[in-house]
Amino acid sequence: KAGVTQTPRYLIKTRGQQVTLSCSPISGHRSVSWYQQTPGQGLQFLFEYFSETQRNKGNFPGRFSGRQFSNSRSEMNVSTLELGDSALYLCASSPTQLAGQETQYFGPGTRLLVL
Amino acid sequence: KNEVEQSPQNLTAQEGEFITINCSYSVGISTLHWLQQHPGGGIVSLFMLSSGKKKHGRLIATINIQEKHSSLHITASHPRDSAVYICAVRPVQGAQKLVFGQGTRLTINP
């Protein structure tokens, strides 16, 4: 099976712009989670989707949003970009919604630079 | 205080040495995960634990639920083991929300 794919892999934006990142989970996986990784804060949970429903959301401002489509592909959007949004954004998928009982499979990440 | 603390933050060793990375957490958990991140960013899930011990090749992970502590061991370390190792826990409250430690940067010199 193909792994988790994320597009684009690299992105440069300027402050105030918005950005949309895409994640395609492993075929058959229905749960997708998003994480932000920065040198200062490390890895932090953004949100998690299962069957097109957001089940959990981390402590991020409303500028960060996401959605999941019927084919389990997911997108996250960041509006009004700030310099501090520069980070590696990782997506991970797992087969079902068995809370806490499944291994997650990570994509390669999208590296976002905000100038 | 972070919910998940790892030690050491940085570790340099010679090829062949036995490596131990520690993880302590302060919340009730359903599972604990060890992840490996190589330069470039990709993350691989090494272990998922809820009790006891797991072994995969030269890697061994243990967890003590009562003491809220886990260790990752690498036997016969090799330069290709050089990576950042991240401990993450899934709290009992929080479903899929993983909480991460800050990571341990391991460098194995030939």
Read off the pLDDT of residues A29-50 as tens digits, 9 standing for 90 and up: 999 999 999 988 899 999 999 9
> What pLDDT does B1 receive?
64
Average pLDDT over chain A, rounded to an integer: 92
Instruction: Tell me how far the alpha carbon of residue A12 is from its chain's centroid.
Output: 17
Across the interface, do A99 and B86 touch by the CB < 8 Å criterion?
no
Spatial distance between the Cα atoms of B87 and B71, rounded to a whole number of angstroms: 9
Across the interface, do A90 and B86 touch by the CB < 8 Å criterion?
no
Compute φ and ψ for B20, nearest 5 degrees: -130, 130
Is the pLDDT at B89 greater than 60? The verdict is yes
Residues 48-87 of B with CB under 8 A from A: 48, 86
> What pLDDT does B2 receive?
79
Is the pLDDT at B42 greater than 90? The verdict is no
Q: Which of B1-5, B81-85, B93-97 has the lowest mean pLDDT?
A: B93-97
Spatial distance between the Cα atoms of A66 and A9, rounded to a whole number of angstroms: 18
Compute φ and ψ for B78, nearest 5 degrees: -135, 150
